[in-house]
Amino acid sequence: MARATRTGKAQGTRFAGRVRSWGTVALAASLLTALPAPTAQAGAAPALSIVGDETQPVFSRADAVYQQVDIETEADSDGDGRRDTVRMRILRPKETDTGLRVATIIEASPYWAGGNKVENHHVDVDVDGLPAGRQSALMDRVPGLASTSAPAGTSAHAASGPSVVWSGYTDNYFLPRGYAVAQVDSLGTGGSTGCPTSGGRNETLGAKAAVDWLNGRARGWDPDGRPVGADWSTGNAAMMGVSYNGTLPTAVATTGVEGLKAIVPISGISSWYDYYRAGGGVVAPGGYQGEDTDVLAKYVHTRADREVCKPVIDRLTAEQDRVSGDFGPFWRERDYLKDVRKIKAGVFVVHGGNDWNVKTQHFGQLWEALKKHHVPRKLWLHQAGHINPMPLRMEEWLTQLHQWFDHFLYGLDNGALSAPRVDVEQADFSWRQQGEWPERSTRDLTLRLNADGLSPHPGAPVRQTMTDAGRTVPAEQLVAGPDTARPDRLGYTTGPLPADLRVNGTPELSVRASLAGSSPYVTALLVDYGADTRAVAATTPDTSQQICYGEGIPGDTGCTYRTVHRTETADFKIVSRGWLDIRNRSSLAHESKVVEGREYRLKWAMQPQDYVFKKGHRLGVVLISTDYDYTLRYPAGTRLSVRAGFSSVTLPVSG
């Protein structure tokens, strides 16, 4: 999971507070800058400045106090007989040394200390499903990482002043408004002890310990080994981050820990099984074919003592099971959905429709679980991939995030929960707001996979067969040319659509099919056929304008470029994918016997999407076996036979 990197900073237009129109930016910034620091009667403690139910930027970022603490956790994951500790680095307003108490925004991560050179598992397997070797070395999995676990310019001891440069934007924007900001080294990484386990319970307890320490429930020590508490803390905390850093907030929130008031999981994992597995099969995160829990743990294992965790990581290799892909206790430990009912925090979920690393299933199933258990929630869906949305929609992002934190961490009645719950970015990069997702008008549309194409009506029950070639041919090549007959796919399309068709939700397949050969996979691809210019996963900086969103210091201006979407013009786009291991057609936890050539009723889901198929385009469903970039690759030649007319796809459509 790639951690979003800090974008370049330089002087530019100043953004502050709730400014929405660029004509008022300079005036608003100057007014906020002119606000005096908190004043109080002699002997009284300093206080927040709150105007219009909004915290104001009146504290000095340059004078912030830096603090480092090692916090005792409830875990002993390295088995040395001592409880693991996590290292937390904190920046807080200097007034916290004279009585000001503040809330804290935490980013826990295994990436602060960088990563190691590691190898992926080999994904070309023999007829028995056993790997044939190892993949090439995997390097720089997470680009742009810091080279040390501490912010640049800091020492091990408490410090203050402009020398303390911090990663990200929370220090520039939120610290002046009366928040502390903190970084936590996840277990087994950086200055923490313990072992990385790719979502294991110990990692949850490690990040949770930071919240406990802020509330006086965990012990902590300064770099000299002296006990230290958080007498400056209100006890209220938020957690946020992208990717792994966005997964840990959900993990901690599902413990029900007191004091965690808000989380912002951005492209975060909700169940690790669905990151490394799908439908009972071994399925890779996009871009990291052959990675698994042990590979990721080796990558982030950067603590000083590297030998102590070798047995722990070896257990990951043994227990993750890359042969069957079944769901079991190993994956149940890493499933946060089962504990969503315990969440006491307001949850602001963010995800990209083009994120194939942490796939859209993760936000979709988390969102439904939050809905079921009536957890206060908010959702942003954008058109990019595995990114931080801040520079993509900077002003609105900071406005809504600020409102969310002010409400949940300081109790301000600012309308955070009365605004529309969902923001969705459209194909033209405009945004729409709606009350729920999927949209309340959404209804199921079932289309039959007929021999002559997709139709609402069943056709003749014709048996159609393709021969698997996915070991050497990527899916993007297999779906091209919908009107060309190919022996290595089964394709079904509508005619030109008479109107725009919006799919928002999770497409589902119901297929009568049989397999004969070594591959157990059935893969479905939902395709938009029609020449168009569409967003891809990546974004790019717009260097024509730099925006200053917060207070700068030497080495960190508090400014950044906007980013804009990258696009590509093509004749088609794979909108969604879904995978099933036919051996797990009845249960993800247990395999069932498969008789070659026998037809089975197969049902499985694709990745959730919010996507508009334009008028005049054709909607297509393509069935293959091996998906080159995602599934294990068995020898070519498996025959997939489908009973057209009896098979269908169900699409959640609105409008």
As given in the structure block, the two tokens for residue 372 are 């079921």
> Using CA atoms, how far apart are residues 477 and 491, in angstroms rounded to an integer?
13
Residues 275 and 269 sit within 8 Å (Cβ to Cβ): yes
C-alpha separations of 549 from 184, 240, 393, 615 in Å: 24, 18, 12, 40
Residues 254 and 340 sit within 8 Å (Cβ to Cβ): yes
C-alpha separations of 633 from 43, 184, 292, 623 in Å: 71, 38, 16, 16
Nearest to 539 by CA among 423, 390, 348, 380: 390
Nearest to 294 by CA among 282, 278, 279: 282
Between strands 422-425 and 377-382, the pairing is: parallel
**In the chain, how long is the greatest CA-to-CA distance?**
88
Cis peptide before 438 (omega within 30 of 0): yes
Residues 387 and 350 sit within 8 Å (Cβ to Cβ): no
Residues 469 and 488 sit within 8 Å (Cβ to Cβ): yes
Catalytic residues, by residue number, are 243, 355, 386
What are the residues whose beta carbons fall under 8 Å from the beta carbon of 175, sequence distance 6 or more? 59, 61, 64, 91, 92, 93, 181, 551
> Using CA atoms, how far apart are residues 329 and 469, in angstroms rounded to an integer?
34
Nearest to 647 by CA among 435, 449, 389, 483: 449
Nearest to 546 by CA among 5, 1, 9, 6: 9
> Using CA atoms, how far apart are residues 72 and 82, in angstroms rounded to an integer?
9
Nearest to 300 by CA among 187, 202, 200: 187
| Residues 512, 518, 524, 527, Cα dihedral to 10° | -130
As given in the structure block, the two tokens for residue 67 are 């603090």
> Using CA atoms, how far apart are residues 179 and 574, in angstroms rounded to an integer?
43
Residue 13 CA, distance from chain mean position: 30
| Residues 40, 43, 48, 51, Cα dihedral to 10° | -20
Residues 254 and 267 sit within 8 Å (Cβ to Cβ): no
